[in-house]
Amino acid sequence: MDQPARVTGPVVVFVVATLVASGLLLAVQGATGVDPAVQSHVQLAPAVGALVTWLVHRARLRTLLPAPVSPRELGTRTALAAGACLLYAVLVLGLTLATGAPVSGAVAVGSVPFAVVALAQLLGAAGEETGWRGLLQPLLERRTSRLRAALLTGAVWAVWHVQAFAAGAGVAVAFVVATLAFAVLLASLGSGSVVQRVVVATLAHWLVNLALLVVAGERTGELAAVVVNAVAMVVTTGLVLAVARARRPYAGVAAAPVSATSRG
């Protein structure tokens, strides 16, 4: 079986399983009455999609998914992710203050303490990244460059957030821009095995969500906050890529790593 055909099957299974799981989890959310601002159950859908894909294509995925990097490399990429998120948080705070909007702070959501909200956000970030950066991104890297794989993953990720497209054209456009930029940033930071990629991406996703929540609070879905998010993410991604290219001209988002188990 040629390489494109070997990749297409798992990708299709993942997308379909994620969409089906999304519908079911949205129904569960409505039945349980859990505030989506605390924990959105649909964030777990990509993890469910990844699990289903693994069960269906387990043997094929063993040869398609990438090999691990060294613990030192993982530590470096984790530190870079934390630094990028700090830069993003500073930009979001600065842009928000520049517009004259108030800063929400680390406050409770309804009756739920902020610490519980933060843990719930971590669970949601892990659920998403298990599918997006843990499975879909490395599979697409088998077909194309890492940059194109990141943009394709980001496009699917953006469309999956259907609620953004119901909030008006301005919100939708800004959200898509932010999502694509974030997908490129996560692709540039992530490397190695599925678990290693998920660890780095989950940390970054979680910290970005927390930064936006602390600064904007309940306004995160409003146009001004979405635009601030987009600008901050584009600037952060651009700076991180520029620094990476200056240090290692031929490394980063442009190249897709190949697993040692499937060379040739």
Look at residue 3 in the predicted model and tell me its pLDDT: 61
Question: What confidence tens digit (pLDDT) does each residue in 118-143 have?
Answer: 999 999 999 999 999 999 999 999 99
DSSP designation for 16: H
User: Is the per-residue pLDDT at 260 higher than 50?
Assistant: no
pLDDT tens figures, 62-111: 999 999 999 999 999 999 999 999 999 999 999 999 999 999 999 998 88
The structural domain count of the chain equals: 1
**What is residue 38's DSSP assignment?**
T
What pLDDT, on the 0 to 100 scale, is given for residue 70? Answer: 95
Predicted confidence (pLDDT) at residue 227 exceeds the cutoff of 70? yes
The counts of H helices and E strands in the chain are: 11, 0
Tokens of 159: 């469309």
CA pair distance 93, 184, nearest whole angstrom: 22
| Portion of the chain with pLDDT greater than 90, in percent | 82
Spatial separation of the C-alpha atoms in residues 255 and 32, rounded to whole Å? 44
* Entry pTM: 0.90
**Domain membership of residue 40 as a residue range:** 3-262
Mapped onto helix, strand or coil, the DSSP state of residue 191 is coil
